[in-house]
Amino acid sequence: MVERESQDRAIESPQAVGTGNVTICGVLESGDRDRYAIYRRKGERLSAEVVAVRLGARLLDTVLRIYGPDQNQLAMVDDTNLFQQDPAASLIAPNNGTYIIEVHESNYGGSSDSQYALHIGDFPMASVVYPAGGPVGQSISVTFPGNPSGPEQQTVSIPPEDQPFQLRAEHDGQISPTISPFRRSRMENVLEQEPNDKLDTIDQRLAEIPIAFNGILQHPGDIDLFLFNAVAGQPIVIDVFANRIGSPIDSRIEVLDSAGKEVASNDDWESHDSHLEFEPATSGRFTIQISDKLGFGREDAVYRIEVAKKQPALTPFLPRPQRKTQRGQSVSVPYGNRTLVRIGVRRSQIEGAVQLTWTDLPDGILATSDAISRDQFWVPVILEASASASLHPSLVRLNAETRTPRGDLLAGEFRQTVDLVAESADRVFQEVEVDRLALSVTPAIPFRVEIDKPTTALPRGGTLDLRIRVEREEGFTQPIKVQLPFLPPWVVAEPELIIPGDSSACIYRVEARPQIEVPRRWSIAATAIVDTVSATEDTAAWDGREVASSLVSLDVASPPIDGQLTPIAAEQGSNVMVDCQVRKMGDAPPHLTATLEGLPNRVSADSVVVGRDDDTISFRLEIAKDAPLGTFSGIQVRLIGEIDGQSVSYVVSPQSSLKVAAPGKLFKDDDGEVLTPLETLRHVQKSKLPEKT
């Protein structure tokens, strides 16, 4: 049913919706109060549930009100534990008559895209369920607490994880329109047996892990205890499921050893649910104690505690460049072009390299990537759409494989949390986890990008100029922004460069910091996108559409030349010669130019051409009369040359220093070495002493 317009009217003229179960699709404009009328006999159930934020479009925070035949308010709900910002209510009609259900935005705001769905009828409400999970392949009895007619029970058969399963509350042939969260696992269930709030009153049998403890904090201040057996040195993971499954509690858990001493505890972990990992120091009995942080308790305060040995795990996913946006949460490949996809991997107890494998890739799509090395968090994957690719979306599977420390093959499946509704304070109100990657081939765009394969290695401490080229279709003259998004650790470059519309290439200089480990080979790629800031025409057709080059290998190595530059000292207004001894240890450019870097203001040295057989580089250092006084560190010699047309530079000496002194204030010993400040002081004092006769 669709909302009839002009529902913002007096309570006496609501829109009638009949007497059966119905779903109404409506829109809340600013100030709207949409009202609907349904007849109920005394003792019949009346349920209403709003779906707004869960539509995944925007943050529409609604309020639900139910009025009786006498127009008195019977229920008012803003937020719920299970549905968060979506309200829901269920009651037993106290009298025969027409009941009014009202929906409005919490601050009476709204807009033309503030859409909602409203379920009205006599269906049982979805709620937290007890127990909140069960072992696959078994049938168990579950209870839905908190219903207006009292807890409702039903029997559930739990299929294996690879088969679809949805748990919905059922009553007298009526089914809830919404799924109740339920954990399927291979863990056996343990249900609490009251009293279990003291060590001397609980069941003394030790549960063997993996195990799932299930219970309810039934009254304020309630505490529940469970016993399990653990082995020394075996890491254990404990997860509480409560807030995530619609329970009102904010859990806190403590782990006690056999002497009753706390060995681990946790309050919140990425939600109001507790999580902890600990490694027992001894084998034997341990106790889990669970409570609400504020002492809350009620008949629907359900929880589930899953206890298991910590296992190696591997999960590939898409690292998001920007949270709270859709950017980077799906992949589009322009027809006849390439795109770069960032694929990350979460490791647990895994240190080795990880290999990515793809299945269900559409015809005409090719994926190219390297293994994710042990010190990498993500790698670039190049997806290319050939001329045979068709323009349609697909859902593809991505797996990761590696070897455990024992040599066993470990595989992990793709998991991605997709933000749907997010607002301020970095909070996500609606999200969904998916196990496949959304990929689509999109229309062609009028340019491609390539990166020329480096002809030599990037030297540690030096630079290398990479050539980036764009291939433009005839007539396309818009500026293009290029980037190198995946460089090795300790390799730096400009964040981006712009290739003007009348150009087709640029030089991207990369620098390897001295801290980098060598030798190393790293796959890099360039990305390109229309620069909308400096564009000269409408770029809406290409806005946000990025393409990528093929992957090329970048080697990082030690420089083939090293040298030694001794500390320098000079007085203001003087010229001194500075020598750097060099030693060639490998292939280097035949022609090199040396520069002295790191000099302070008003201190200069001309560059020097270095011959093939030269083993000494001599600089003439000119110190101005007003050059700053003091000792300046970071002085180094850089050699610049070309290999096969590619510019490369080497830092050939450890960083030295330059001391600038006032005229007549620089003292040296008999060997020409500059005196230290203490030696200078002694020298000055000695020179002031009267000569002995």
**Tens digit of each residue's pLDDT (9 = 90 or more) over 24-33:** 999 999 999 9
Alpha carbon distances (Å) from 143 to 128, 222, 239, 453, 626? 9, 20, 22, 65, 88
Q: What is the mean pLDDT of residues 313-331?
A: 77
Contact criterion met (CB below 8 Å) for 465 and 506: no
Euclidean distance between CA atoms 151 and 169, whole angstroms = 11
Distance set, CA 389 to CA 222, 331, 529, 574 (Å): 61, 15, 22, 71
| 391-429 tens-digit pLDDT | 888 999 999 999 887 888 999 999 988 888 776 656 777
CATH no. of 561-661: 2.60.40.10
Interval 421-452: pLDDT, tens: 776 656 777 788 889 999 999 989 999 999 99
Measured distance CA(561)–CA(639) in Å, rounded: 9
- The 3-state secondary structure of 78-120 reads CCECCCECCCEEEEECCCCEEEEEEEEECCCCCCCCCEEEEEE
Split at pLDDT 50, 70, 90, the class of 1 is: low
Q: How confident is the model at residue 376 (pLDDT cuts 50, 70, 90)?
A: confident
pLDDT exceeds cutoff 60 at 6: no
Say what the pLDDT of residue 325 is. Answer: 61
For residue 200, what pLDDT band results from cuts at 50, 70 and 90? confident
Using 50, 70 and 90 to split pLDDT, how confident is the model at 493?
Answer: very high
- The yes-or-no verdict on residue 157 having pLDDT over 90 is yes
| CATH number 2.60.120.380 given to 15-121 | yes
Cα 86 from Cα 423, distance rounded (Å) = 16
Confidence class of residue 648 from pLDDT cuts 50, 70 and 90?
very high
Indicate the pLDDT class of residue 350, thresholds 50, 70 and 90.
Answer: confident
CA torsion 332→334→337→341, rounded to 10°? -10
pLDDT band at 672 (very low <50, low <70, confident <90, very high): low
Q: Is 172 left (phi over 0), alpha (psi -120 to 50) or beta?
A: left
Q: Which of 169, 182, 181 is nearest to 126 (CA)?
A: 169
Residue spans of the domains in the chain: they are 15-121, 188-310, 314-441, 447-557, 561-661
* More confident position, 686 or 96: 96
**Residue 689, exposed/middle/buried by CB under 10 A (0-12, 13-18, 19+)?**
exposed
Q: Over pLDDT 90: what percentage of the chain?
A: 67
**Beta strand spans in 500-615 (E):** 505-512, 520-524, 527-530, 547-548, 552-557, 561-565, 568-571, 575-584, 592-597, 603-605, 608-610
If you compute the radius of gyration of the chain from its CA atoms, what whole number of angstroms results?
Answer: 36
Cα-Cα-Cα-Cα dihedral sign, residues 322, 328, 330, 335: positive
Which pLDDT band, with edges at 50, 70 and 90, does 326 fall under? low
Task: List b or e across 642-652, with b for residues whose CB sees 16 or more CB atoms inside 10 angstroms.
Answer: ebeebbbbbbb
Q: What does the pLDDT average to over 339-365?
A: 90
Same fold, 314-441 and 561-661: yes
**Span 91-101, average pLDDT:** 96
pLDDT of residue 8: 53
Average pLDDT of span 190-201: 87
Distance CA 58, CA 52 (A): 8
> What CATH fold (topology level) applies to the domain 188-310?
Jelly Rolls (2.60.120)
0.85 exceeded by pTM: no
Question: What does the pLDDT average to over 128-135?
Answer: 94
DSSP H or E stretch at residue 682: helix 677-688
Q: What are phi and psi of 55, to 5 degrees?
A: -70, -20
CATH class name, domain 314-441: mainly beta
Phi/psi of residue 62, nearest 5 degrees = -105, 160
pLDDT of residue 359: 86
- pLDDT (0 to 100) of residue 689: 56
Model pLDDT for residues 600-645, shown as the tens digit of each residue: 999 999 999 998 888 899 999 999 999 999 999 999 999 999 998 8
Fold annotation for 447-557: Immunoglobulin-like (2.60.40)
Is the per-residue pLDDT at 342 higher than 70? yes
From 309-313, 370-374, 683-687, the region with the lowest mean pLDDT: 683-687
> What tokens does 59 get?
């943050």
With bands split at pLDDT 50, 70 and 90, how would you rate the model's confidence at 691?
Answer: low
pLDDT at 685 (0 to 100): 61
HEC string for 479-519: CEEEECCCCCCCEEECCCEEECCCCCEEEEEEEECCCCCCC
Q: What is the pLDDT of residue 145?
A: 87
SS3 category, 389:
coil
- Cis-peptide, bond into residue 690, ω within 30° of zero: no
Examine the pLDDT at 352 and tell me if it is beyond 90.
no
Distance of alpha carbon 149 from its chain centroid, rounded?
44
Burial class (CB in 10 A: 0-12, 13-18, 19+), 192: buried
Of residues 204 and 517, the one with the higher pLDDT is: 517
H/E element holding 38?
strand 34-40
Coil, helix or strand at residue 677: helix
On average, the pLDDT of the chain sits at 89
**What's the length of the chain?**
693
Q: Once rounded to an integer, what is the mean pLDDT over residues 663-687?
A: 68
Q: Which two tokens stand for residue 289?
A: 């104690």
